[in-house]
Amino acid sequence: MGRNGRLAAGGNIVRRIGGRIGGPIGAKIGGGISGRITGPITRLMEPPPGMAFDFSQPAGEPALTPRDSISWRVFANPVTLFIGGVAAVILELAEPSVRAGVWEHSSFRTDPVLRLRRTGAAAMMTVYGPQSAAREMIARVVRRHDQVRGALPDGTPYFANNSRLLDWVQATASYGFIEAYSAFAAPLTPAEKSRGFAEAEKAARLYGANNPPLTLAQWHFMLAQVSTTLEPSDILLDFLDTMRTAPILPRMLRPMQRMFVRAAIDMLPADIRSRLLLVGRGLGPADRAAVRAMARLAERLPLPGSPPAQARLRVGPAEPQQDDFSAHALG
């Protein structure tokens, strides 16, 4: 099927989504979104003011992960990027020390849209940015996090750059993005998921993680170890309410935004949903089909000018890359 055929098929998918939502909002979505969807979806990937960056330059400089990586596929889908990001934050906020650092030392409560765009910009730079710029950005984040310290209500101290907490944050991010893509956009094999975890190692260690999971099996082992410490909280519920109601997507797409938040809950392991008192807050069959349709439509859209598109121009045709770690070793 050619490009026009794929986009026409995408329009039919979106019209069916509008029918599932129903009512006047559903009619607006079904009738008009197919011609206007590229803009709102692309804006999810744009950096906020002050963080603009041309990912097409400097020509030829590789990213921390190669163009033919699983990561480049996963992070190019803005729908599953949103879903996976919410799922990762759910798991982070379920860990008491991470919860305190994220909620008390960030702008999630006061300006969630700006915080999401900053986080998204950091993710884009980590995966698609030229290595030199990615390293500089990560170093700035590490210096900022070095100031994030405090104590839990029981007096237990926490420190954002604690390697144990960083291992968890990096692991949940990899899990969230990989699993959301596999669940809603295009299924990944266990081997492909393991590749995705392994590809994140270089950036994870730059952020300060010492033992991030490098395979799907290692993630499952870590989750089993940490799961007994995870707990529900009012902060977690506040975060989910914020993600449902904040003006992240245009008004006519807000029903989809709420579905995406439910999708993030839906993709969590059943025992984790139960532990966090989130049972019944996921997707029904019709909504699950609608989210998959949106994620698969996002796979077909070209999204010109987005960081992934610019990065492909910078690095050229896919081929094995020699990163600067190897260059240093050989030198």
pLDDT tens digit at each of 331 positions of the chain: 443 443 344 444 455 554 544 444 444 444 344 445 545 666 767 777 777 889 999 999 999 999 999 999 999 998 999 999 999 999 999 998 888 767 666 666 677 777 777 888 889 999 999 999 999 999 998 888 777 766 667 767 665 667 788 899 999 999 999 999 999 999 999 999 999 999 999 999 999 899 999 999 999 999 999 999 999 999 999 999 999 988 888 888 888 889 999 999 999 999 999 999 999 999 999 999 999 988 998 888 777 788 999 999 999 876 544 444 333 333 3
DSSP label at residue 2: -
From the number of C-beta atoms within 10 Å of its C-beta (0-12, 13-18, 19+), residue 214 rates as middle
Q: What is the pLDDT of residue 250?
A: 82
Q: What is the pLDDT of residue 223?
A: 96
Chain mean position to CA 138? 17
How far is 17 from 55, CA to CA, in rounded Å? 33
Q: From residue 15, how far is each of 22, 62, 108, 151, 249 by CA, in Å?
A: 11, 39, 33, 50, 18
Q: What is the pLDDT of residue 283?
A: 94
Q: From residue 222, how far is each of 117, 145, 180, 304 by CA, in Å?
A: 29, 23, 19, 38
Is 44 in contact with 78 (CB distance < 8 Å)?
A: yes
pTM, to two decimals? 0.82
Residue 76: strand pairing partners: none
Q: What is the pLDDT of residue 101?
A: 67
Give yes or no for a cis peptide into 58 (omega within 30° of 0): yes
How far is 290 from 205, CA to CA, in rounded Å? 37
Cβ of 59: how many Cβ atoms within 10 Å?
10
Q: What is the pLDDT of residue 16?
A: 52
Q: What is the pLDDT of residue 70?
A: 96
